[in-house]
């Protein structure tokens, strides 16, 4: 499978700060040809207080640039996973400048989420109400120029619509781009504002985008139900979210994601219990689940093929201006 969202760069950077790579080494054993063959690896940023509490007291320091953090983390991951298809991403652009994208692109950056949950100088996440800013348009322009994918997961409704509208303008002027929502489920099935409305999913499909469904029970069930359902119910609900997205945008625009937060279990034990499937056997378990609903060729597309096509474009030596 191709995991459309795991915070592997953040895990690697935390391991570097601790000088303890045991969790990372154990986790990396799940990446192999029979399980997870590709992954969008995120270096993610939230508020400074949350980063101190959930990740590491020194995770974000003003005297260490995002570029340097990214360089360190990507070198670690590339060294540990030489045979895995790695797509490097930054989630939450709060602490970088538009001009940093040039250097980050040269270091391998191929995907950005302009926002995490809060408002920043570019747009707003699902905990705030503002939309895309003029500086945010500059960020999108630079990403399109370089050939960096634009990821709308975590954007609030206003920012989502603003970004889609802006991308349509760019497309009408002849610009090409790749866009996705790497880890977002269906709000019509689970009313979390982090999930996408049916209209948002449709609009994403209109600009050639792709959506990754995450197997995290917080985004499958209401708060009242998420702690009491059985394993079978969790799996069936995940299948329902995937099927719903396929009904809206078609099987060629849907993929899978984990956003497994087990590495934060020390900060909050619940993080270790959110994923539906054990990561070491996720591919076989997910294939079995999807086979209940989809044909073999469509299972392949959802689990791997759709994202692999985008990976090949984004990591090609001359991908600027290309589009699916």
**Which of 140, 139, 143, 136 lies closest to 109, judged by CA?**
143
Quote the pLDDT of residue 270. 81
Q: Extract the residue ranges of the chain whose pLDDT is less than 50.
A: 321-324
DSSP H/E element including 257: strand 254-257
Render pLDDT for 42-63 as a digit per residue (tens, 0 to 9). Answer: 999 999 999 999 999 999 999 9
DSSP 8-state assignment for residue 197: P
Element spanning 42, H or E: strand 38-44
Provide the pLDDT for residue 323: 43
Question: What is the per-residue pLDDT for 290?
Answer: 98
**What secondary structure does DSSP assign to 120-164, as a single string?**
-SS-BBTTS-----HHHHHHHHHHHHHT-EEE-TTB-HHHHHHHH
Residue 310: strand, helix, or coil: helix
| Domain boundaries along the sequence of the chain | 2-315
Residue-level length of the chain: 324
pTM of the model: 0.95
Question: What tokens appear for 15 in the block?
Answer: 């391991």
Give the right CATH number for 2-315 from 3.40.630.30, 3.30.230.70, 3.40.50.1460, 3.20.20.140: 3.20.20.140
């Amino acid at each position: 499978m191709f995991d459309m969202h795991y915070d592997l760069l953040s895990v690697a950077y935390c391991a570097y700060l601790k000088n303890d790579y045991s969790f990372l080494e154990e986790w990396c054993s799940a990446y192999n040809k029979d399980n997870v063959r590709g992954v969008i690896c995120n270096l993610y940023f939230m508020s400074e207080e949350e980063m101190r509490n959930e990740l590491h007291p020194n995770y974000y320091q003003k005297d260490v640039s995002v570029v340097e953090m990214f360089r360190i983390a990507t070198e670690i991951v590339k060294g540990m996973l030489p045979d895995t298809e790695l797509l490097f991403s930054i989630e939450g652009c709060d602490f970088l400048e538009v001009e940093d994208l040039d250097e980050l692109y040269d270091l391998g950056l191929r995907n950005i989420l302009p926002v995490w949950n809060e408002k920043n100088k570019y747009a707003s996440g699902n905990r705030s109400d503002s939309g895309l800013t003029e500086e945010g348009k500059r960020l999108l322009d630079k990403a399109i120029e370089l050939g960096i994918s634009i990821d709308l997961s975590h954007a609030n409704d206003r920012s989502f619509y603003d970004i889609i509208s802006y991308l349509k303008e760019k497309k009408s002027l002849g610009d090409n781009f790749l866009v996705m929502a790497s880890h977002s489920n269906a709000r019509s099935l689970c009313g979390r504002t982090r999930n996408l409305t049916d209209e948002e999913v449709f609009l994403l499909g209109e600009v050639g985008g792709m959506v990754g469904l995450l197997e995290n029970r917080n985004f499958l069930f209401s708060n009242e139900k998420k702690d009491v359902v059985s394993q079978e119910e969790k799996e069936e609900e995940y299948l329902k979210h995937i099927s719903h997205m396929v009904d809206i945008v078609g099987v060629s625009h849907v993929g899978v994601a984990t956003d497994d937060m087990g590495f934060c279990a020390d900060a909050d034990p619940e993080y270790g219990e959110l994923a539906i499937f054990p990561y070491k056997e996720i591919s076989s378990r997910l294939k079995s689940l999807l086979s209940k609903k989809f044909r073999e060729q469509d299972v392949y597309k959802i689990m791997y093929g759709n994202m692999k096509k985008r990976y090949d474009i984004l990591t090609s030596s001359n991908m600027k201006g290309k589009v699916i």
